[in-house]
Amino acid sequence: MIKYTVLLLTLIISCNMKKKELIEPKAKKIEKILSIHGDDRIDEYYWLNQRGDKDVIDYLNKENDYRNEFMKDYKPLENEIFQEIKSRIKEDDSTVPYFYNGYHYYTRYEKDKQYPIYCRKKGSLENTEEILIDANVMSEGYDYFRVGTIEISPDNKTMAYSIDTLSRRIYTIYFMDLESRIISEKNIKNSSGSITWANDNKTIFYNMKDSETLRSERVMKFKLGDNGNGSEVYFEEDETFSVFSYKTKTEKYIVIGSSATLSQEYRIINAEKPDEKPKLFQKRVDGLEYSISHFKDKWFITTNKDDATNFKLMTCPESKTESENWVDYIKHRQDVLLGGIEVFDDFLVISERENGLRRIDIRPWDGSKSHYIKFDEETYSLYLTSNPQIATKTLRFSYSSMTTPNSFIDYDMVTKEKKVLKETEVLGGKFDKTNYQSKRVWAPSRDGKKVPISLVYRKDMFNEGKNPLLLYGYGSYGITNNTGFSSVILSLLDRGFVYAIAHIRGSQYLGREWYDEGKMFKKKNTFYDFIDAGKFLINEGYANQNKLFAMGGSAGGLLMGAVVNMEPKLFKGIVAGVPFVDVITTMLDDDIPLTTFEYDEWGNPKNKDSYDYMLSYSPYDQVQEKDYPAIFITTGYHDSQVQYFEPAKWIARLRDRRTNNEPLLLYCNMEAGHGGASGRFEAYKETAMEYAFFISLLNN
């Protein structure tokens, strides 16, 4: 113990000396005045927006060099954490096969290889394996590589697949003859990555992106053997909408969808007649949200029609799809959020959420008694997975909790028997779920609402009021954080951390109203909920008041930026991943990807009232001369959703204005985009950086 203390003291002294010697990167200031609504904002770091400029590249490289040097003494810890994470993962692993159109499909990994191998077997799992794509081979020569979609023609002879090699979610579609294994010279660039086959085995539908805004704006039709990119089926003129396409589970229709935050519109084409003109299902109405599923001679519509805030299920005849023909099938429920549905020959399966927890409702078509699949843990994660077959009595779903590794389960909807097909192995021989405690607690927010928090810790390392705690949050777009198992988090739990997820407003954890109260002119509720959750965890003894850490990415990075401006002394340190922090400037620029699509989430700052409200919390605009906690910011140079220059400008302004000397670090992955590094293990190197950053702060 004495030896360890001496080593720790030496490390602290070394780090303190290094802080004095290291010189932080200082971005040059070139003032640019941004004027609207009679208000002038000065952006002294606007020049960083110039993608490809030598000075910009040099600055980003200096930031990376500074982070590397600052954390040099913790590099062994980074390596240790990375090896821990990697050692828990079964390298020669495979997914649970699913059966579709005569073949079992699965993905497998091989030891010491970064990328998946996509495979299938005809008829029986005992038959010879056919490798569709070995991404380890195909990725050679690329710094970044990701397979988007693999879609096989109905006759099983042609494979269409999409590849992204830049990390801007711009995919190229390729075609392979599965009998000869010859890849066609013809490919289609600038797609969203999704592919839908018509039933003629030669026509695909895909979505084309605008090269500047990256908005999916056109649904295209391409026939094998054609030149060019095919023909346009539908063009979405409204810049606040984005298009997509898919085939119904019954395989009768191609569906062309166009969606904004608060409105959807669909068109349908008979999959047997792909050259037919699309038929409008129900024209868009501002505020009318709906999604459609086909079954036999009916359409099932999940919708908020008639003020169904938490959505309801309606039906209409196959040939009369306008909303005046919709009738209730499952009425709106004030306390239950209706999610997705799955149709089978004998059953309708409904995913829904009550009091924050997902559940699955099994409803026989014959009118016999419905039932729920029951789960006992206090907080858990539950998802319907691959269920492509309609003529089956077996439902497949995945289940996990913060202490229970993910399981894939086949459920007999008649006998109600569960069959666990696979539980994810946690290797290394150290994990025992009984060593960990998971629970759900409720934190009072300042306006009286109760904010749910899911948390987990290691029992033998928990000491009331003394533990470091990492609080994670997102709180936007109605996205609800997964409260399932993560072997990655064990590297913190086994070092005495408590890990908590705050289910703040802006998500749909407690229904659609929970989302509505955390967006637009109520966005600050998201930030207040997170701050109040942190204070509650300290007051209840789950966290030491000097060891509260926070983490969030993308819109969760905006959350991080907002809360450190509002309550900087609450947090010991934060990690902000690909943070959306320059809210006003980004939302005023129609050419930046995704801007117009998000007006219903944040507001349109071209309107004075939205501008004023957004400006009042925009993290970059609200950086002030005061003490800030330690902050580690990550970004990707090719990010298509939050451009690299937002976090780059943010850290530059923080360094210029903060009044203390806590670490401010930026890591820009020069080869990656919004999702981080590609490759099975590469992303964990960034996780190891983040965890080492938190642990380093415990030594200060």
Domains of the chain: which residue ranges?
Answer: 1-86+574-700, 98-345, 346-428, 440-546
Beta strands in 526-625 (DSSP E): 548-553, 573-577
Strand order in the sheet with 371-373: 336-343, 347-354, 357-364, 371-373
Instruction: Encode pLDDT of 261-283 as tens digits.
Output: 889 999 999 999 999 999 999 99
- Does residue 662 carry a pLDDT above 80? yes
Residue 201, Ramachandran bin (φ over 0: left; ψ between -120 and 50: alpha; else beta)? left
Amino acid at 584: I
As a whole number of angstroms, the distance between CA 374 and CA 402 comes to: 17
Does the pLDDT at position 674 exceed 70?
A: no
pLDDT given for residue 699 in this prediction = 77
Position of tokens 């904004």? Answer: 260
Residues 6+ apart with CB under 8 A from 369: none
Residue closest to 583 by CA, chosen among 607, 616, 553: 616
Strand partners, 399: 382, 407
639 included as an active-site residue: yes
Residue 606 is predicted with a pLDDT of: 95
**What three-state secondary structure class fits 171?**
strand
Task: Output the pLDDT for position 17.
Answer: 47
Q: Read off the pLDDT band of 218 (50, 70, 90).
A: very high
- Among 143-147, 250-254, 294-298, 408-412, the minimum mean pLDDT is found in 143-147
**Torsion angle of the four alpha carbons 135, 140, 143, 145, in this order, in degrees rounded to the nearest 10:** -20
Query: Is 172 within 8 Å of 147 (Cβ atoms)?
Result: no
- What's the CA gap between 682 and 677, in Å, rounded? 6
Query: Is the pLDDT reported for residue 622 higher than 50?
Result: yes
| pLDDT classification of 8: cutoffs 50, 70, 90 | very low
* pLDDT value at 3 more than 70: no
**What tokens were used for 520?**
């637009």
What is the helix (H) or strand (E) element at residue 294, kind and residue range? strand 290-295
pLDDT at 683: 84
User: In this predicted structure, what is the pLDDT of residue 668?
Assistant: 94
For residue 581, pLDDT over 80 is answered with yes
Per-residue CA distances from 400 to 403, 490, 528, 557 (Å): 8, 15, 29, 26
What token pair was written down for 282? 């129900």
Query: How far is residue 564's CA from residue 623's CA, in Å, rounded to a whole number?
Result: 9
Lowest mean pLDDT among 42-51, 299-308, 664-673: 664-673
The position carrying tokens 């024209």 is 283
According to DSSP, residue 596 is labeled G
Query: How confident is the model at residue 2, as a pLDDT?
Result: 39
* Average pLDDT over every residue of 592-616: 88
Helices 2-21 and 54-70 cross at an angle (nearest 10°) of 150
C-beta neighbour count of 659 within 10 angstroms: 9
Give, as one character, the DSSP assignment of residue 449: P
**Environment class of 128 (CB within 10 Å of its CB; exposed 0-12, middle 13-18, buried 19+):** exposed
DSSP state of 310: T
**pLDDT at site 12:** 47
Query: Which of 67-81, 532-546, 569-583, 675-689 bottoms out in mean pLDDT, i.e. has the lowest?
Result: 675-689
Q: How would DSSP label each residue in 22-68?
A: ----------EEEEETTEEEEETTGGGG-TT-HHHHHHHHHHHHHHH
| In the block, residue with structure tokens 């004023």 | 612
Whether the predicted pLDDT of 9 surpasses 80: no
Q: What is the pLDDT of residue 20?
A: 53
Across residues 436-447, what is the average pLDDT?
A: 97
How far, rounded to the nearest angstrom, does the alpha carbon of residue 586 sit from its chain's CA centroid? 20
Question: What is the number of helices (H) and of strands (E) in the chain?
Answer: 13, 38
Reported CATH class of domain 440-546? alpha beta
For residue 471, the SS3 value is strand
* Residue 593 binned pLDDT confidence (cut-offs 50, 70, 90): low
- Catalytic residue (one of 639, 640, 678, 696): 639
Distance CA 656, CA 665 (A): 13
Amino acid, single-letter form, for residue 226: D
Q: Which long-range contacts (C-beta less than 8 Å, at least 24 apart) are formed by 216-223?
A: 216/192, 216/242, 216/243, 216/244, 217/242, 217/243, 218/243, 219/243, 219/245, 219/256, 220/188, 221/274, 221/275, 222/188
| Rg of the chain on CA atoms, in Å | 26
Q: Tell me, what DSSP letter sits at residue 92? A: S
Tokens of 528: 């207040």
**Is the distance from CB of 260 to CB of 240 less than 8 angstroms?**
yes
**Position 214: which residue type?**
L
Looking at domain 98-345, which of 2.60.40.10, 2.130.10.120, 1.10.357.10, 3.10.580.10 is its CATH number? 2.130.10.120
Distances, alpha carbon 300 to alpha carbons 285, 315, 327, 348, in Å: 18, 5, 10, 10
Cα–Cα distance for residue pair 454/498, rounded to 1 Å: 11
**Residue 364 pLDDT greater than 80, yes or no:** yes
Instruction: Provide, rounded to the nearest whole percent, the portion of the chain with pLDDT above 70.
Output: 95
Query: Would you say residue 375 has pLDDT above 60?
Result: yes
* Residue 181 dihedral angles phi and psi, to the nearest 5°: 65, 20
Give the residue among 429, 479, 426, 489 at the shortest CA–CA distance from 456.
489
pTM equals: 0.91
Alpha-carbon gap, residue 509 to 515, rounded angstroms: 8
- For the question of residue 638 being annotated catalytic, the response is no
- Rounded Cα distance, 249 and 264, in Å: 20
Identical fold at 98-345 and 440-546?
A: no
Q: Which of 445, 554, 610, 678 is catalytic?
A: 554
Domain at 1-86+574-700: CATH code: 3.40.50.1820
Residue 503: which of 533, 477, 523 has the closest Cα? Answer: 533
pLDDT at 50 over 50: yes
What rounded mean pLDDT belongs to the chain? 93
Position 675 scores a pLDDT of: 56
pLDDT computed for residue 376 by the predictor: 84
Active-site annotation holder among 293, 674, 678, 696: 674
Residue 409 has pLDDT above 80, yes or no: yes
* pLDDT > 50? residue 13: no
A 10 A CB-CB count for 248 gives 18
Q: State both tokens at 232.
A: 């346009």
Is residue 332 part of the annotated active site? The answer reads no
Q: Strand ranges (DSSP E) for 447-588?
A: 450-458, 469-472, 498-502, 548-553, 573-577
For residue 385 the two structure tokens come to: 């997975």
Query: Which residues neighbour 472 within 8 Å (Cβ) at sequence distance 6 or greater?
Result: 481, 499, 500, 501, 502, 550, 551, 552, 556
CB 367 within 8 A of CB 449: no
Angle at 394 between CA 391 and CA 395, to 5 degrees: 110
- Which position has the higher pLDDT, 677 or 498? 498
680 pLDDT tier (thresholds 50, 70, 90) = confident
Structure tokens at 165: 């090699």
For residues 138-163, give the mean pLDDT. Answer: 94
Are 177 and 188 in contact by the 8 Å Cβ rule? The answer is no
Residue 678 pLDDT > 80, yes or no? no
Residues 298-346 pLDDT 10s: 999 999 999 999 999 999 999 999 999 999 999 999 999 999 999 999 9
| pLDDT (0 to 100) of residue 16 | 52
Q: Please check whether residue 639 is in contact with residue 673, taking contact to mean a CB–CB distance below 8 angstroms.
A: yes
DSSP 8-state code for residue 124: S
How many of the other CB atoms lie within 10 Å of CB of 73? 17
Helix (H, G, I), strand (E, B) or coil at 15: helix
